[in-house]
Structure 1
Amino acid sequence: MRDYVYTIGREFGSDGKNVGFALAEKLGINCYDKELLTEAAKQSGFCEEIFENHDEKPTNSFLYSLVMDTYSINGYSSAPFLDMPLNHKVFLAQFEAIKKIASEGPCVLVGRCADYALSDNPNCINAFVHADLDYRIENMKKRFGMNEKQAKDTLAKKDKQRASYYNYYTSKKWGDSRSYHLTLDISELGIDGCVDMIIRYRDLLEAQRNK
Structure 2
Amino acid sequence: MAKTNTIITIGRQFGSGGREIGYMVADKLGIKLYDKEMLQRAAQDSGICEELFESHDEKPSNSFLYSLVMDTYSMGYSGSTYNDMPINHKIFLAQFDAIKKIANEGPCILVGRCADYALEGYPNLLSVFIHADLDARIKRIAKKYDLTDAKAKDLIIKTNKKRASYYNYYTDKRWGDADSYDVCLDSSVLGLEGTAEAIIKLIEVKEKGIKRNIWQCDE
Structure-1-length-normalised TM-score: 0.94
For residues 82 and 72 of structure 1, the distance between their equivalents in structure 2, rounded to whole angstroms, comes to 17
For residues 16 and 197 of structure 2, the distance between their equivalents in structure 1, rounded to whole angstroms, comes to 17
Partner amino acid, structure 1, of 2:202: Y
- Per mean C-alpha deviation after superposition, the further-off stretch among 189-198 and 57-66 is 57-66
For residues 70 and 48 of structure 1, the distance between their equivalents in structure 2, rounded to whole angstroms, comes to 23
* Contact 2:34-2:110 within 8 A present in 1 as well: yes
Match of 2:192 in 1: 191
- Note the C-alpha offset of 1:101: 0.6
Partner amino acid, structure 2, of 1:159: N
- Note the C-alpha offset of 1:188: 0.9
Which consecutive aligned stretches of 4+ in structure 1 deviate over 6 angstroms post-superposition?
Answer: none
For residues 111 and 184 of structure 1, the distance between their equivalents in structure 2, rounded to whole angstroms, comes to 15
Change in 2 beyond 3 A, CA 1:66/1:147: same
For the residue of structure 2 that corresponds to 1:7, the secondary structure is strand
For residues 73 and 87 of structure 1, the distance between their equivalents in structure 2, rounded to whole angstroms, comes to 18
Match of 1:64 in 2: 66
Q: Deviations over 1:55-85 (max 9, x none)?
A: 000021453312421232233x433332233
For residues 53 and 64 of structure 2, the distance between their equivalents in structure 1, rounded to whole angstroms, comes to 21
Superposition pairs of residues 59-138 of structure 1, within 5 angstroms: 59-75=61-77, 77-138=78-139
RMSD: 1.5
* Contact 2:4-2:107 within 8 A present in 1 as well: no
* Contact 1:6-1:108 within 8 A present in 2 as well: yes
- Note the C-alpha offset of 1:34: 0.6
Q: Deviations over 1:132-152 (max 9, x none)?
A: 111111111111111111111
* Contact 1:71-1:80 within 8 A present in 2 as well: no
Q: 2:52 aligns with which of 50, 53, 67?
A: 50
Q: Deviations over 1:91-119 (max 9, x none)?
A: 11111111001101110000000000100
Identity over aligned pairs, percent:
56
* Contact 1:5-1:102 within 8 A present in 2 as well: yes
Q: Which runs of 5+ in 2 are unaligned?
A: 213-219
Structure-2-length-normalised TM-score: 0.91
* Contact 2:9-2:126 within 8 A present in 1 as well: yes
Change in 2 beyond 3 A, CA 1:153/1:73: same
